């Protein structure tokens, strides 16, 4: 998949895209309603994730920060590239020095990219099963599986039983069962690193 489209799919519904007025441009590009690559590139370069695209690309000798491998690694942890970037790094690092009582688990959960399984599908939404982020007195962890209704974008064609990624209560991309398992593993590893450093 084209890297610009993939980055747009994951970014259009995020908090900063809304704040900067980029959401509609990115959503339209992701859905194929707008082909203005330069405007899309401009929007994406002004989001927090772009700094990490550049770092990942440079470390791995990849010329284009919007190379699909770079975008996929940043959002899903696959394919594996050099750099030691934690999964969901851009969400966890800014809150690393915050007292646990000031961290809102719901916001972390929304900002995280999660793997999920589609349980039911309707015209505009999916009922999915996933493992949310919760907070204890001392840690942020992945909780037991629960169900949640998320938005169903027009660019995602999946059916009941399929695995997907979700970001800001929106299904983004289909993944297979091995990617689903890997996603859970790297998410748990990231939270272990966070909790160890937060103490």
Residue 8 confidence class, pLDDT cut points 50, 70, 90: very high
- By DSSP bridging, strand 146-151 and strand 113-121 are unpaired
CA distance 152 to 72: 20
> Quick check: 114 and 166 in contact, CB under 8 A?
yes
When the pLDDT of each residue in the chain is averaged and rounded to a whole number, the result is 93
State yes or no: pLDDT of 199 exceeds 80. no
- Specify if 172 maps to a domain: yes
Q: What is the CATH number of the domain that holds 159?
A: 2.30.30.140
Residue 111 confidence class, pLDDT cut points 50, 70, 90: very high
CA distance 171 to 169: 7
Average pLDDT over residues 138-152: 95
Helix (H, G, I), strand (E, B) or coil at 149: strand
Average pLDDT over residues 165-191: 94
Q: For the packed helices 49-59 and 3-11, what is the interaxial angle rounded to 10 degrees?
A: 140
Average pLDDT over residues 100-111: 92
Angle at 147 between CA 182 and CA 160, to 5 degrees: 70
75 strand-pairing partners: none
State yes or no: pLDDT of 86 exceeds 90. no
DSSP state of 47: S
> Quick check: 29 and 90 in contact, CB under 8 A?
no
My answer on whether 103 and 189 are in the same domain is yes
Domain boundary pick from 44, 76, 108? 76
Residue 160: exposed, middle, or buried by beta-carbon count in 10 A (0-12, 13-18, 19+)?
exposed
The answer for residues whose C-beta is within 8 angstroms of residue 16's C-beta and 6 or more apart is: 22, 47, 48
Residue 93 confidence class, pLDDT cut points 50, 70, 90: confident
My answer on whether 137 and 170 are in the same domain is yes
My answer on whether 136 and 185 are in the same domain is yes
Domain enclosing residue 69, as ranges? 3-76
173 backbone dihedrals φ, ψ, rounded to 5° = -150, 145
Total tally of structural domains belonging to the chain: 2
């Amino acid at each position: 998949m084209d890297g610009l489209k993939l980055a747009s799919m994951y970014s259009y519904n995020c908090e900063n895209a809304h704040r900067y007025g980029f959401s509609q441009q990115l959503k339209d590009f992701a859905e194929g309603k707008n082909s203005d690559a330069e405007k899309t590139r401009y929007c994406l370069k002004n989001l927090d994730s772009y700094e990490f695209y550049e770092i990942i690309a440079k470390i791995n000798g990849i010329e284009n920060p919007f190379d699909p491998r770079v975008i996929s690694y940043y959002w899903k942890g696959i394919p594996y590239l050099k750099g030691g970037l934690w999964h969901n790094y851009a969400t966890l690092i800014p809150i690393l020095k915050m007292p646990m009582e000031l961290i809102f688990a719901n916001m972390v959960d929304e900002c995280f990219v999660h793997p999920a399984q589609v349980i039911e599908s309707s015209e505009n939404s999916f009922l999915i099963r996933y493992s949310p982020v919760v907070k204890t007195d001392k840690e942020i962890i992945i909780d037991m599986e629960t169900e949640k209704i998320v938005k169903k974008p027009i660019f995602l064609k999946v059916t009941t039983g399929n695995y997907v990624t979700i970001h800001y209560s929106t299904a983004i991309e289909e993944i297979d069962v091995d990617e689903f398992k890997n996603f859970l593993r790297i998410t748990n590893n990231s939270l272990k690193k966070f909790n160890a450093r937060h103490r």
